[in-house]
Structure 1
Amino acid sequence: MPLKKKTSTKLTAIARQSLGEQVADILREQILLGDLKPGDSIPERETSTALAVSRTPLREALLMLEAEGLVEMAPARTPVVAKPSLLDVTHLLLVQSALEALAGECSCDEATEAEIEEIEGMHQIMLGTMNNPDPVEFFKVDMGFHEAIVASTKNLALIKTHKQFHARLWRARFLSARRRSARETAMIDHGRIVEGLRRRDKELVSSAMKEHLRLAIDNVRVAFALEEAESNSLAPGSDKPGSNDR
């Protein structure tokens, strides 16, 4: 799929050492939104030209996205957008649900009042933007909510492990979060999590975190089915595009 043209104005204002990260941000968002779909190639020459950067920061960005599981790279082959199976994603989400349940318990012991207020503030932002037409902005706050809970544990091993799984699940969790029909239930879960943190109720927070991630598995399953239907509808001979944003 052709990459969307980007002007160089934004990129030239960025310090050289952060250029790779900026390119990664652009490509990551295009992958999340489906502008670059699973299985699509990312040719270096065309992509660097479209983004008005050299191949060096592009390769840095691709390595970052490979580490996150969003891009697959192999010697002498063009990088492609990763296409994990539903089973792979389900297994990762099951592990993530256990990690976040543990983080919820630890947070009840370790989180400061200021950290809990920050977490609750993110929840309030999401409540106010549930119908925001920009799914990426809503998603970033949603992921920030979960990251803040894990960070509040001060458990470096847990934080590092969670980060590794979190990166590999970004697109799957985005597919879950962008479904409007699932947002109301997700916000109820978030409300229970915040309530549990306020009360330092380990059992409530842990169970709410685990149920929240198990719900994401159901949402991802639906999103995968809708994506497949959309792909089939856009195949030659079909003119009925689908949508997974409902």
Structure 2
Amino acid sequence: MPEETLPDQIANQLRRDILRGKLAPGAQVKERDNAAEMGVSRTPMREAIRILAKEGLVVLRPARSPVVAQLTLDEVADNIEVLTTLELMSARLAVDRASEAQIEEIVEIQNRMERLYDDIDMIDVFELDMEFHKAIVRAANNPVLVEAHGSVLSRLWRARYLSASRKRSRDRVLAQHNGIVEGLQTRDKALLHGYLSNHLEHLLINVQDFFEHANDGPDTPASPTSAA
């Protein structure tokens, strides 16, 4: 895996700031201030902001500071609909096309998530969960699918993270992940589809719950939860 460039590293930090709410929806992302805070020049900061804009996390504005994007429930639901279709298609293709090494990578990510779930930062749990889903898509061995999935997933990053903070669903999520892994290891399309579709259904339920109770209190829970 290639080393991250400085703009990539900055984008990762800004992405985490958006997830945590340090950069809230509608907030300006000031190039100069953020560059000074991180101790970097404005050039890689500008590139990092462009990365986030391409992902849909930030909205660029002519002659003004970009702002953190805020999707509506309808927009999020539309993206989840497409994401679900892409992930189910990828899983079906992965049963036929995935190498043993690719399946082993998915197993390793799940084992790491299960092992560390209670001991690491909530965002680290969330990122492991997202890496699990991305690895399944990669195992379909279709670059177009990978690109399309990455584009939709990035637009849902904050919505998935905040919806997760509403639901303490550790045991359910780990059980579903293990079922997905079993479906891949046994090359059983029906088993895999059942676990993955049920897993993704909870994503929309959690997002709807988040939007319904968005003004009830803090977004972030005291302990890690899952993203789907």
Match of 2:221 in 1: 245
Are residue 165 (structure 1) and residue 136 (structure 2) matched? no
1:207 Cα offset (Å): 3.0
CA distance in 2, matches of 1:243, 1:63: 26
CA distance in 2, matches of 1:146, 1:125: 14
Are residue 216 (structure 1) and residue 203 (structure 2) matched? yes
Are residue 108 (structure 1) and residue 98 (structure 2) matched? no
Are residue 184 (structure 1) and residue 160 (structure 2) matched? no
SS in 2 for 1:83: coil
Number of corresponding residues: 220
1:199-234 Cα distance to aligned partner (Å, 9 max, x none): 11112212322221221111122233443323xxxx
Match of 1:92 in 2: 79
The higher relative CO (CA closer than 8 Å, separation ≥ 6) is in 2
Match of 2:104 in 1: 117
CA distance in 2, matches of 1:192, 1:173: 21
CA distance in 1, matches of 2:213, 2:115: 27
Are residue 42 (structure 1) and residue 29 (structure 2) matched? yes
Q: 1:139 aligns with which of 103, 126, 137?
A: 126
Match of 1:55 in 2: 42
CA distance in 2, matches of 1:99, 1:132: 31
Match of 1:10 in 2: none
CA distance in 2, matches of 1:167, 1:39: 17
CA distance in 2, matches of 1:141, 1:133: 11
Query: Any conservation in 2 of the 1:31–1:81 contact (CA below 8 Å)?
Result: yes
The gaps in structure 2 that reach 5 residues or longer are: 223-228
TM-score after normalising by structure 2: 0.89
TM-score after normalising by structure 1: 0.83
Which residue identity lines up with residue 27 of structure 2 in the other structure?
D
Q: 2:141 aligns with which of 150, 154, 175?
A: 154
Query: Any conservation in 2 of the 1:139–1:174 contact (CA below 8 Å)?
Result: yes
SS in 2 for 1:200: coil
- Whichever of the two has the greater Rg, that structure is 1
Are residue 206 (structure 1) and residue 193 (structure 2) matched? yes
Query: Any conservation in 2 of the 1:226–1:243 contact (CA below 8 Å)?
Result: no
Query: Any conservation in 2 of the 1:104–1:149 contact (CA below 8 Å)?
Result: yes
Are residue 227 (structure 1) and residue 203 (structure 2) matched? no
Which residue identity lines up with residue 155 of structure 2 in the other structure?
R
Match of 2:65 in 1: 78
1:243 Cα offset (Å): 4.3
Query: Any conservation in 1 of the 2:167–2:206 contact (CA below 8 Å)?
Result: no
Query: Any conservation in 2 of the 1:93–1:214 contact (CA below 8 Å)?
Result: no
1:115 Cα offset (Å): 1.7
Give the superposed CA RMSD: 1.9
